[in-house]
């Protein structure tokens, strides 16, 4: 049985989305002009821009400093919370798996993007390749990723679960 989309595609939605997406694309273009990667992002709540982000990988020597991650970190600092529930993440380009997982961990209500993973591939970036990798059995990965059994590996979770005052996230 097919499920109806919860949201109509963005192109049928109010211009507000387009305005924020255009800002993300403008941030990406400005970042290229400043010597950075071609990605920009915004976190918006109730129509207000909480934070912006531009790719800072080469500037910060940080492979995780993708535009969306930078924007999410800045927005969390802005609101003083590790949750961005109630927010929308706008990105100049489809979030890569790192950025998408970051958005899910931040519990944003919605993610909207302009260019897609095919555009990123044309631009020379591995976003699509990494999505494809996650659809490939790990045994076939060039980078070995495997669990190693270790006695006591659940101990941190035992400690966590025993903590009455733990902060769930
Ligand atoms: N969406 C996205 N993809 C990337 N691929 C490489 N860097 C980035 C980034 O900052 N954002």
Quick check: CB of 99 below 6 Å from ligand 1? Answer: yes
Report which ligand 1 atom has the smallest distance to the Cα of 70. Answer: 10
Q: Is the CB of 113 under 6 A from ligand 1?
A: no
Q: State the CB neighbour count (10 A cutoff) for residue 74.
A: 16
Ligand 1 center to 8 CA (angstroms): 25
Q: What is the pLDDT along the chain (169 residues), one digit of tens a residue?
A: 344 555 555 554 667 899 999 999 999 999 999 999 999 999 999 999 999 999 999 999 999 999 999 999 999 999 999 999 999 999 999 999 999 999 999 999 999 999 999 999 999 999 999 999 999 999 999 999 999 999 999 999 999 999 999 999 9
Per cent of the chain over pLDDT 90 is: 91
Q: What does pTM read for this prediction? A: 0.92
Cα of 40 from ligand 1 centre, angstroms: 8
Q: Is the CB of 55 under 6 A from ligand 1?
A: yes
Which CATH number among 3.30.300.90, 3.40.50.300, 1.20.1630.10, 3.40.140.10 corresponds to the domain 14-142? Answer: 3.40.140.10
Distance, CA of 95 to CA of 41 (rounded, Å): 10
With vertex at residue 115, the alpha carbon angle to CA 112 and CA 121, rounded to the nearest 5 degrees, is 130
Q: Which tokens belong to 59?
A: 């500037």
Q: Give the position of tokens 């129509």.
A: 47
Q: Which residue's alpha carbon is nearest to atom 9 within ligand 1?
A: 66
- CB neighbourhood size of 40 (10 A): 30
Q: What is the ipTM of this complex?
A: 0.99
- The conformation of residue 80, written as its DSSP 8-state character, comes to T
Could you confirm whether 16 is annotated as catalytic?
no
Decide if 67 contacts 53 (C-beta within 8 A).
Answer: yes
> Residue 21's closest CA among 38, 41, 49?
41
**57 alpha carbon – ligand 1 mean position (Å):** 9
Give the separation between CA 124 and CA 94, rounded to whole angstroms: 14
* d(C-alpha 55, C-alpha 36), whole Å: 6
**How many Å apart are CA 59 and CA 8, to the nearest integer?**
37
């Amino acid at each position: 049985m097919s499920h109806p989309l919860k949201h109509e595609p963005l192109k049928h939605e109010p211009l507000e989305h387009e305005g924020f997406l255009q800002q993300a694309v403008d941030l990406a273009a400005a970042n290229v002009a400043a010597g950075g990667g071609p990605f920009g992002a915004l976190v918006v709540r109730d129509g207000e821009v909480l934070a912006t982000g531009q790719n800072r990988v080469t500037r910060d020597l940080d492979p995780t400093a993708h535009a969306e991650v930078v924007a999410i970190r800045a927005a969390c600092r802005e609101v003083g919370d590790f949750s961005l529930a109630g927010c929308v993440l706008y990105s100049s380009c489809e979030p890569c798996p790192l950025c998408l997982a970051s958005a899910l961990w931040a519990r944003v209500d919605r993610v909207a993007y302009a260019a897609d993973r095919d555009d990123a591939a044309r631009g020379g970036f591995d976003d699509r390749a990494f999505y494809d990798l996650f659809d490939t059995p790990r045994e076939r990965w060039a980078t070995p990723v495997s669990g190693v059994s270790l006695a006591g590996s659940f101990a941190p979770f035992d400690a966590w679960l025993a903590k009455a005052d733990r902060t769930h996230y």
